[in-house]
Amino acid sequence: MKTTLELSDSLIEQSRLVQQRDRISLKALVEEGLRLAIAKRLTPSEYRFEPVFGGSGWLTEEAENAGGLGAVLREINER
């Protein structure tokens, strides 16, 4: 499929260096970049919020209304 992209001059300059070094076309470089960006977004993050104690021990009213600490942590870990 043909499409038109507007890319910044600096990005094009960087791409030309990579294209020359790796002897690949701009099309191949864009396809590789899109594949990597899509895979990154589809792969769940391995980061998990690790709670630490450093406060008064009381939840804010907002956290209490959201279902307590467990609900807040589940929501953070699902992001």
- 46 token code pair: 């391995």
What is the C-alpha separation between 1 and 3, in angstroms, rounded? 7
Question: 6-10, 13-17, 25-29, 63-67: lowest mean pLDDT where?
Answer: 63-67
Whether the pTM exceeds 0.75: the reply is no
Is the predicted pLDDT of residue 41 greater than 70, yes or no?
yes
Local confidence band at 53 (pLDDT 50, 70, 90 cut-offs)? low
Size of the chain in residues: 79
Give the other-Cβ count within 10 Å of 50's Cβ: 6
